[in-house]
């Protein structure tokens, strides 16, 4: 059984505009000035990290991700100011008070102990620096509830039982509590985007690149196809396709913490 999913930059890139909107909304709330050093923890295939050059064109920007496939896909975006490196967010450290901005977008939801990591992130910021976080908060949506239900059934459960399918993530108030205690001024909020996705069984294509990936990658090839067919049929019923597309309500949680 695979112990971690093999991420697909191509599949993740499906619906890139919809996936990128929360990142842009997050970055717009960063108020730190004179930015020269930026780290993007969980940079994925690099396209969103590259947009940070628009906000801080002279800054040194580093994208870090634990997936070799994602880091390989990100390399074409690299230049004199932007680089990418392999690394695990749970093990990442930086010299104290050295960074202007840390961004972590759609990454910490995979880390059960994420709140324990936040003090270390804040310590890596210089006074006035900012930690900007965005995570999905849709663990109770039909897309994920159906996934957990199927993954708990045999014959799938034998292989999928060790995959991370936690529906619970911190809410905005949790981030305020932890980051305020670290001496930050915190702006935290949540919103639900209503995406009108194009294509057949669009929600299946969406989750195959993210939330369903660990389960799908845990299954043997033949069983994976069987699971995907059953899961896809149930998703198509839960998210019916309309003439204008398929509506996917997607809750997102944000926290922007500026170090005093």
Query: What domain range includes position 17?
Result: 9-259
Task: Count the neighbouring beta carbons within 10 Å of the beta carbon of residue 3.
Answer: 9
Which CATH number fits the domain that encloses residue 139? 3.40.50.150
Evaluate whether residue 2 is within a structural domain: no
Share of the chain above pLDDT 90, in %: 85
Residue 163, pLDDT score: 74
Q: Name the residue with tokens 């008070």.
A: 97
Tell me if 78 is assigned to some domain: yes
pLDDT of residue 12: 66
Q: What is the DSSP letter of 114?
A: H
Q: Stretch 196-201: mean pLDDT, rounded?
A: 95
DSSP 78: -
d(Cα 135, Cα 170) in Å, to the nearest integer?
9
Residue 35: what pLDDT?
A: 98
The answer, as to whether pTM is greater than 0.85, is: yes
Alpha-helical (H) ranges within 128-171 are 142-151, 157-160
Query: Which pLDDT value is given to residue 2?
Result: 36
Separation of alpha carbons 65 and 199, rounded Å: 29
176 falls within a domain? yes
Torsions phi, psi of 93, nearest 5?
-140, 155
Domain total for the chain? 1
Residues 6+ apart with CB under 8 A from 237: none
Distance CA 162, CA 178 (A): 29
Residue listed under structure tokens 């809750």: 251
Residue 113 structure tokens: 């102990």
User: Contact, 250 vs 192, CB < 8 A?
Assistant: yes
Residue 245 lies in a domain: yes
- Residue in 39, 47, 45 with CA at minimum distance from that of residue 63: 39
pLDDT digits (tens, 9 = 90+) for 209-259: 888 988 998 999 989 999 999 999 999 999 999 999 999 999 999 999 999
Does the pLDDT at position 4 exceed 70? no
Mean pLDDT of 134-146: 95
The answer as to whether 119 is a domain residue is: yes
* E strand intervals along the chain: 37-41, 60-65, 82-86, 99-105, 125-136, 184-197, 246-259
Residue 88 included in any domain: yes
CB distance 242 to 174 below 8 Å: no
Tokens 């999905």 belong to residue: 136
Q: Which residue has the tokens 């804040």?
A: 122
* Residue in the structure block whose two tokens are 């900012």: 130
């Amino acid at each position: 059984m695979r112990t971690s999913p093999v991420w697909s930059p191509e599949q993740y890139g499906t619906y890139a505009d919809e996936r990128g909107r929360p990142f842009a909304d997050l970055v717009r709330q960063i108020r730190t000035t004179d930015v020269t050093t930026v780290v993007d923890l969980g940079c994925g295939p690099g396209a969103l990290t590259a947009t940070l050059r628009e906000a801080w064109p002279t800054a040194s920007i580093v994208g870090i991700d634990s997936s070799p496939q994602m880091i390989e896909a990100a390399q074409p975006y690299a230049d004199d100011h932007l680089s990418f490196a392999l690394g695990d967010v749970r093990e990442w450290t930086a010299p104290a008070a050295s960074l202007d901005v840390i961004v972590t977008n759609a990454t910490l939801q995979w880390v059960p102990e994420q709140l324990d990591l936040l003090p270390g992130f804040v310590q890596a910021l210089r006074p006035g620096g900012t930690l900007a976080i965005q995570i999905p908060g849709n663990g109770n949506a039909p897309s994920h509830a159906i996934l957990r239900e199927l993954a708990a059934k045999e014959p799938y459960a034998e292989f999928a039982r060790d995959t991370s399918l936690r529906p619970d993530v911190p809410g905005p108030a949790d981030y305020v509590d932890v980051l305020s205690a670290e001496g930050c001024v915190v702006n935290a909020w949540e919103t639900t985007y209503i995406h009108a996705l194009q294509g057949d069984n669009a929600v299946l294509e969406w989750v195959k690149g993210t939330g369903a990936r660990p389960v799908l990658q845990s299954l043997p090839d033949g069983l994976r196809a069987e699971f995907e067919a059953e899961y896809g049929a149930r998703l198509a019923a839960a998210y019916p396709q309309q003439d204008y597309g398929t509506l996917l309500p997607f809750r997102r949680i944000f926290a922007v913490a500026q170090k005093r």
